């Protein structure tokens, strides 16, 4: 039985565009794996506070540190991530990057000597690779010819998740949500089409057996770019 971890971080709750997109991705994944269990991890607010002094110290020393505070939160979040066969992250763009809430989750799961090691050759990820689908919503466009802002979010997530061993990332986006309802409908339609094409292609080829093989090595797909 597969476990799908759904990480969502929009402050807009049920109205969230990235949440809508990540739920659509979950829908396709559940078609392929009807028996899968979805674990919901909502980040933000007081649930996942920023890392504390104990945790920050642990980055510097090998001492046996307290499991209270951030260390306990970090451990719980890492175990949740380790237990997942597939990860779906729903995120808005906030000030050209990931929201602070998602950054807090990243700071907890990207932990020296736990999810990555520092070696002479650089940082080496310690987690088993698995498919990670990222659903991005943005007020303006950050991909394609009509992009009017730099994209720090997708390269950052590739780099930081790659650092802990998660390399198999596929991006979908609904861009330009600030442009009015008609433009949003159009952006959603383009992204929904890209999603359907992506998953239907894989399902037809693989008979809904192996989502990992289906997406591995694909370039990021941005539906409305
Ligand atoms: C604090 C804040 C910063 C934002 N910064 C950007 C930005 O840099 N670029 C952009 O395209 N949209 C930006 N937006 C707009 C959101 O990305 C957009 O409304 C998105 O659709 C929200 O997704 P959600 O409904 O999942 O929260 C920002 C919104 C907020 C609240």
Q: Which atom of ligand 1 is nearest to the CA of 21?
A: 26
Residue of the nearest CA to atom 8 in ligand 1?
A: 95
Residue 214 pLDDT > 50, yes or no? Answer: no
212 inside domain: no
- CATH code for the domain of 103: 3.40.50.360
220 inside domain: no
Residue of the nearest CA to atom 25 in ligand 1?
A: 16
> pLDDT grade, residue 219 (50/70/90)?
very low
Instruction: Please state, in angstroms and rounded to a whole number, the distance separating the CA atoms of residues 159 and 218.
Output: 16
Residue 54 pLDDT > 60, yes or no? Answer: yes
Share of the chain above pLDDT 70, in %: 84
Q: What share of the chain is helix, strand, coil (3-state, %, to 5)?
A: 40, 20, 40
Q: Which of 60-74, 127-141, 152-166 has the lowest mean pLDDT?
A: 60-74
Q: For ligand 1, pick from 15, 18, 93, 181 the residue to mutate: most ligand atoms within 8 Å of CB.
A: 93
State the total domains in the chain: 1
Residue 115 pLDDT > 90, yes or no? Answer: yes
144 inside domain: yes
Q: How far from 213 is each of 105, 161, 180, 192, CA to CA, in Å?
A: 27, 19, 38, 21
Which one is predicted more confidently, 201 or 31? 31
224 inside domain: no
For residue 185, the model assigns a pLDDT of 97
Average pLDDT, the chain: 87
What the block records as the tokens of 26 is: 């979950």
Q: Which of 2-6, 67-71, 136-140 has the lowest mean pLDDT?
A: 67-71
Q: Which atom of ligand 1 is nearest to the CA of 178?
A: 19
Is 146 a pocket residue for ligand 1 (Cβ < 6 Å)?
A: no
For residue 195, the model assigns a pLDDT of 96
Instruction: Please state, in angstroms and rounded to a whole number, the distance separating the CA atoms of residues 112 and 116.
Output: 5
Is 137 a pocket residue for ligand 1 (Cβ < 6 Å)?
A: yes
Domain span holding position 93: 3-205
107 inside domain: yes
What the block records as the tokens of 75 is: 């451990």
> pLDDT grade, residue 93 (50/70/90)?
very high
222 inside domain: no
Q: Which of 4-8, 49-53, 54-58, 96-100 has the lowest mean pLDDT?
A: 54-58
3-state secondary structure 63-131: CCCCCCHHHHHHHHHHHHHHCCCEEEEEEECECCECCHHHHHHHHHHCCECCCEEEECCEEEECCCCCC
Q: Which atom of ligand 1 is nearest to the CA of 10?
A: 27
In this prediction, residues 200-212 reach a mean pLDDT of 55
For residue 48, the model assigns a pLDDT of 81
Which one is predicted more confidently, 53 or 174? 174
In this prediction, residues 182-198 reach a mean pLDDT of 96
Give how far the C-alpha of residue 121 lies from the chain's centroid of Cα atoms, to the nearest Å: 27
Q: How far from 101 is each of 44, 56, 172, 174, CA to CA, in Å?
A: 4, 18, 20, 20
196 inside domain: yes
54 inside domain: yes
């Amino acid at each position: 039985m597969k476990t799908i971890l759904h990480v969502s971080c929009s402050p807009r709750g049920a109205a969230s565009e990235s949440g809508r997109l990540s739920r659509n991705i979950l829908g396709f994944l559940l078609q392929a794996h009807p028996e899968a269990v979805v674990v919901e991890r909502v980040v933000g607010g007081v649930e996942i506070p920023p890392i504390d002094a104990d945790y920050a110290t642990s980055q510097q020393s090998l001492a046996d540190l307290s499991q209270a505070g951030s260390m306990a939160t970090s451990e719980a979040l890492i175990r949740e991530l380790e237990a997942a066969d597939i990860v779906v992250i729903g995120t808005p763009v906030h000030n050209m990057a990931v929201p602070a809430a998602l950054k807090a989750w990243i700071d907890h799961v990207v932990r020296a000597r736990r999810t990555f090691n520092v070696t002479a050759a650089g940082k080496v990820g310690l987690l088993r690779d698995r498919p990670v689908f990222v659903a991005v919503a943005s007020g303006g466009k950050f991909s394609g010819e009509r992009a009017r802002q730099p994209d720090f979010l997708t390269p950052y997530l590739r780099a930081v998740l790659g650092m802990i061993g998660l390399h198999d990332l596929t991006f979908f986006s609904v861009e330009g949500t600030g442009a009015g309802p008609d433009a949003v409908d159009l952006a959603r339609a383009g992204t929904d089409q890209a999603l359907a094409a992506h998953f239907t292609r894989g399902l037809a080829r693989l008979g809904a057996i192996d989502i990992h093989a289906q997406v591995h090595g694909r370039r990021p797909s941005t539906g409305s770019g």
